[in-house]
Amino acid sequence: MENKRLYKDRQNQMLCGVCAGVAEYFNIDVTLVRLLFVALGFAGGSGLWIYIIAAVIMPDKPM
């Protein structure tokens, strides 16, 4: 069984690489994850706070 870890992806990043890392972890398109964060941002601003916290907590992907 593969040991999956959640990392920020610096190669496919737009801001901090959080969305690209989440998309890689769940094996989905990064555009869907970005749209989810934008939708959450408009729905009370929770997407912005989640993104900021994830950007601070998530480690960079090892090369």
**SS3 per residue for the chain:** CCCCCCCECCCCCCCCCHHHHHHHHHCCCHHHHHHHHHHHHHCCCHHHHHHHHHHHHCCECCC
Average pLDDT by stretches of 10, the chain with 63 residues:
80 86 92 91 85 90 76
| pLDDT of the residue at 28 | 94
Q: Which domain holds residue 3?
A: 1-63
Domain total in the chain: 1
pTM check: above 0.75: yes
| pLDDT of the residue at 3 | 80
User: Which is nearest to 37 in space by CA: 25, 23, 58?
Assistant: 23
| pLDDT of the residue at 1 | 59
| pLDDT of the residue at 33 | 92
| pLDDT of the residue at 32 | 94
Torsion of CA 32, 7, 13, 44, to 10 degrees: 50
Tokens of 31: 């555009």
